[in-house]
C-alpha cells in the first residue's frame, strides 16, 4: 500500500509541475539517520512539506519522528502541535485522508449536521481526526459521532443506527448489507490486497462488502477509486 501511495503522490506532483523527492531508506535504518534526514529537510528552505510514509519498520516508532518534523512543514498534520490545534478546533494542517473524506461529503452535498456518524477505527491518521472534525461546531461538522474499534462489542448495534459510516480498519468484508440501515451513506477507507490469479496477482478491496450493501445504501465510495485518490489530491 505504501509503495502504491508514494508512487501516486510522486506522479501527481509531477503532473502538477511541483518538485518532490523520495528518500527510500533501508529497512534496518537507524533512528539517528532518519532524524538527521528530517532535520536536514526542516532546514532546507526549498522544502515546504515533509511526508513520513507510514507504517515504519517495527524497530522504529513513528512518534519519535513525527514530533521532529517542523510543524510548519508537517503537511500530513501528524505533529502533536498540529493534532492539538485540530482537536482544539483551530486546525492548521488537516490529515489528508480525513480531509479527503470531508471533501467527498461536501462535494455530494451531504450535510453531517445532527446526523449519526459511526467511525470504525481509531488511528491517529484516520479515525481520531475524522471523529474530531465531524463532531466539532464547524460548518462541515456538528455530527453526533460514535467511534468503534477492536474492543467494540456487537459492531452492528452501532452501524445499524448510523446515517453515515466511515470505515478505516483494514479488514475485507467487515461491514455487510445486514449491518446497515436503509439509505446509509458509506465512506470505505480500507485498503486490502487480495491475492488472485490475475496477471497482477492481486486486486484491492475495501472494508465493506460492496455488492451486499450497494442496493441498501444511499451511496458508497468504491475501492479502489474513492477515498484513496482524494487522499492524494
Ligand atoms: P490502523 O492504525 O491499523 O487502525 C485500524 C483500526 O481498526 C484500529 O483502531 C483497530 O482497533 C480497528 N479495528 C481492528 N479490527 C477491528 C474490528 N474487528 N472491528 C472494529 N475495529 C477494528 O489502520 P489505519 O492506518 O487507520 O488504516 C486503516 C485502513 O485504512 C487500512 O486498510 C489502510 O490501508 C487504510 N487507509 C486508507 C487510506 C486511503 O486513503 N484510502 C489512508 C489511510 C489508511 P484498535 O485500536 O482497538 O486496535
For 143-212, the DSSP string reads: -EEEEE-TT-S-HHHHHTT-SEEEE-S--TTSB-GGGS-TT-EEEE---EEEE-SSSSSEEEE-SB-HHH
Question: Angle 224-168-182 (CA atoms, 0-180°, nearest 5)?
Answer: 85
Ligand 1 touching residue 152 (CB < 6 A)? yes
Mutate to test the pocket of ligand 1, among 98, 103, 121 (most ligand atoms within 8 A of CB): 121
* Structure confidence at residue 211 (pLDDT): 97
Which residue's alpha carbon is nearest to atom 42 within ligand 1?
97
Which residue's alpha carbon is nearest to atom 31 within ligand 1?
170
* Structure confidence at residue 1 (pLDDT): 73
Q: Give catalytic status of residue 9 as yes or no.
A: yes
Which residue's alpha carbon is nearest to atom 3 within ligand 1?
169
- Which atom of ligand 1 is found nearest the CA of 174? 18
Ligand 1 touching residue 165 (CB < 6 A)? no
CA–centroid distance, 170 to ligand 1, in Å, is 5
Per the CB < 8 A criterion, the answer to whether 167 and 120 are in contact is: yes
CA–centroid distance, 152 to ligand 1, in Å, is 14
| Burial per residue of 191-220, b for 16 or more beta-carbon CB atoms within 10 angstroms, e otherwise | bbeeeeeeeeeeebbbbbbbebbeebbeeb
* Structure confidence at residue 188 (pLDDT): 98
* Structure confidence at residue 3 (pLDDT): 85
* Structure confidence at residue 2 (pLDDT): 84
* Structure confidence at residue 4 (pLDDT): 80
Which residue's alpha carbon is nearest to atom 48 within ligand 1?
150
Per the CB < 8 A criterion, the answer to whether 77 and 60 are in contact is: no
Ligand 1 touching residue 122 (CB < 6 A)? yes
CA 137/CA 53 separation, integer angstroms = 31
pTM of the model: 0.95
Mean pLDDT by 10 residues, the chain (233 residues): 86 95 96 98 97 95 97 97 97 97 97 98 96 95 98 98 98 98 98 95 96 98 95 89
* Structure confidence at residue 83 (pLDDT): 96
* Structure confidence at residue 5 (pLDDT): 82
Q: Give catalytic status of residue 76 as yes or no.
A: yes
Beta bridge partners of residue 204, listed in sequence order: 193
Q: Which of 68, 74, 76, 163 is catalytic?
A: 76
CA 119/CA 130 separation, integer angstroms = 8
* Structure confidence at residue 99 (pLDDT): 97
Amino acid at each position: 500500500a505504501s509503495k502504491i501511495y508514494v508512487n501516486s503522490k510522486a506522479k501527481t506532483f509531477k503532473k502538477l509541475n511541483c518538485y518532490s523527492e523520495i528518500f527510500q531508506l533501508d529497512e534496518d535504518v537507524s533512528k539517528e539517520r532518519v532524524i538527521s534526514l528530517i532535520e536536514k529537510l526542516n532546514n532546507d528552505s526549498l522544502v515546504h512539506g515533509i511526508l513520513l510514509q507510514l507504517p515504519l519498520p517495527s524497530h522504529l516508532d513513528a512518534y519519535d519522528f513525527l514530533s521532529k518534523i517542523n510543524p510548519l512543514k508537517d503537511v500530513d498534520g501528524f505533529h502533536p502541535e498540529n493534532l492539538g490545534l485540530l482537536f482544539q478546533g483551530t486546525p492548521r494542517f488537516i490529515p489528508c485522508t480525513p480531509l479527503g473524506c470531508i471533501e467527498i461529503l461536501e462535494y455530494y452535498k451531504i450535510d453531517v449536521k445532527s446526523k449519526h456518524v459511526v467511525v470504525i477505527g481509531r488511528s491517529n491518521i484516520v479515525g481520531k481526526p475524522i471523529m474530531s472534525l465531524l463532531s466539532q461546531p464547524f460548518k462541515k461538522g456538528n455530527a453526533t459521532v460514535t467511534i468503534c474499534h477492536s474492543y467494540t462489542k456487537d459492531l452492528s448495534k452501532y452501524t445499524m443506527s448510523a446515517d453515515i459510516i466511515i470505515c478505516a480498519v483494514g479488514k475485507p468484508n467487515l461491514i455487510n448489507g445486514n449491518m446497515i440501515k436503509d439509505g446509509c451513506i458509506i465512506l470505505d477507507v480500507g485498503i486490502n490486497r487480495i491475492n488472485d490469479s490475475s496477471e497482477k496477482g492481486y486486486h484491492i478491496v475495501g472494508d465493506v462488502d460492496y455488492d451486499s450493501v450497494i442496493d441498501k445504501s444511499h451511496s458508497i465510495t468504491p475501492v479502489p477509486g474513492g477515498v484513496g485518490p482524494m487522499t492524494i489530491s
